[in-house]
Amino acid sequence: MRAIRPAVVDFDDVIVDCMGSVIPFANRRFGTNVQYEKMYTYELWRLFGQALPAMHDMINAFFHSSEHDGVLAMEGVAEGLKYLKEKYGAVDIATARPKIGAPPMLSLLQRHGLMHFIRDTYVSVPKGDVCRKVYASVFIDDAIHNIQAVAAKNPQTSLILMGKPWNKESHEQAVRVPSWRAIIEQGL
């Protein structure tokens, strides 16, 4: 029996459309008009012109709001996770969410019927460390700095960058995709 080398997948904006709900929530909270399509960075404090403590308070409030409960799954994610589980034997989640965001994350996985695809979750652990620990076959994320970190520590791991407005740049070792459908169709 061969050892399982799982797929490691980011949660926010890869499995669920978190920014699609965070942006309107933060706009109401701060009286701003940031538009998803014009996001040039995932660093919310830069987008909203707020200090980090105010952003942390906003994110914590969001995690426990009805808006978070309504976060949608990304189109095609169930089929994509099923594909990854069949191809690699397991799917693990690695998220940069703070630990306070873990229970709401698990609730979303259950609500969207995705929990049965997931073997393990890693919260607030560097993604390069997770990929090295589990000897990941593939890593999927929407943030270029995470792709770079995994590439630096894990040359054996294939990299997939989920295209978003805030990640116009790419990485020479990463395959950029627009959707879960593209991952399946390209056999990644």
For residues 87-108, average pLDDT: 96
Yes or no: is domain 7-17+72-185 CATH 3.40.50.1000? yes
142 labelled catalytic: no
- Res 170: pLDDT: 81
Active-site position among 10, 13, 92, 141: 10
Per-residue three-class SS string for 166-178: CCCCCCCCEEEEC
129 labelled catalytic: no
Strand spans (E) along 44-184? 91-95, 120-123, 138-141, 158-162, 174-177
pTM as predicted: 0.95
Beta bridge partners of 139: 8, 159
Q: Where are the domains of the chain?
A: 7-17+72-185, 19-69
Give phi and psi for 79, each to the nearest 5.
-65, -40
| Banded pLDDT at 147 (limits 50, 70, 90) | very high
Residue carrying the six token digits 């459309």: 17
Q: Which two tokens stand for residue 78?
A: 């169930």
Sign of the torsion formed by the C-alpha atoms of 33, 36, 39 and 44: positive
Element (H, E) at 182: helix 180-185
Residue carrying the six token digits 């830069």: 46
pLDDT 10s digits, 49-84: 999 999 999 999 999 999 999 999 999 999 999 999
